[in-house]
Amino acid sequence: MDRLDLAFKVAVEARENAYAPYSGFKVGAALSVKGIDKIYPGCNVENASYGGTMCAERTAIFSAVAENGKVPFEFCIVVTDTEYATPPCALCLQVFSEFCPSDFPIYLGTLKGIQKKVLLKELLPIPFNKIP
Ligand code: ZN
């Protein structure tokens, strides 16, 4: 199994752990870090106070940073149970932009498989950046 297939499996499994009683929209993510075997899973975790909700993508990013500090990410996969794959929200794209180059690959998938590869710069061409 290659790394992309493994990450897809991690994202699908993480999606099963999503806590989404309010939206009913479960999302799984998997983040591959360069030079590290582990693939970081993420799922959305909702809260009765909606602002406390966290997306699957940022769950994976923050987990990888918590364990390794700032390290180069290789790619991310986002999986939803929808007909068409769902891209990360703007907040997650902004967080990706803090840690990833503009050509960072994001794979969008459904439970049937990966549908599309996009680059961070295609989804967020001009990120907010206070560091010149
Ligand atoms: Zn998000």
Q: What is the pLDDT of residues 94-116, one digit of tens each?
A: 999 999 999 999 999 999 999 99
Q: Residue ranges of the domains in the chain?
A: 3-123
How far does residue 38's CA lie from ligand 1's centre (Å)?
22
In percent, how much of the chain has pLDDT > 70? 98
Class of domain 3-123 as given by CATH: alpha beta
Band of the pLDDT at 1, cuts 50, 70, 90? confident
**Catalytic residue IDs:** 57
Ramachandran bin of 31, using left for φ above 0, alpha for ψ from -120 to 50, beta for the remaining angles: beta
List pLDDT tens digits, range 27-75: 999 999 999 999 999 999 999 999 999 999 999 999 999 999 999 999 9
Say how far apart CA 91 and CA 88 lie, in whole Å.
8
Does 132 score more than 70 pLDDT?
A: no
Cα of 55 to ligand 1 centre, how many Å? 5
**83 φ/ψ angles, rounded to the nearest 5 degrees:** -70, -45
Closest among 21, 25, 127, 24 to 78, alpha carbons compared: 25
Pairing mode of beta strands 73-80, 105-110: parallel
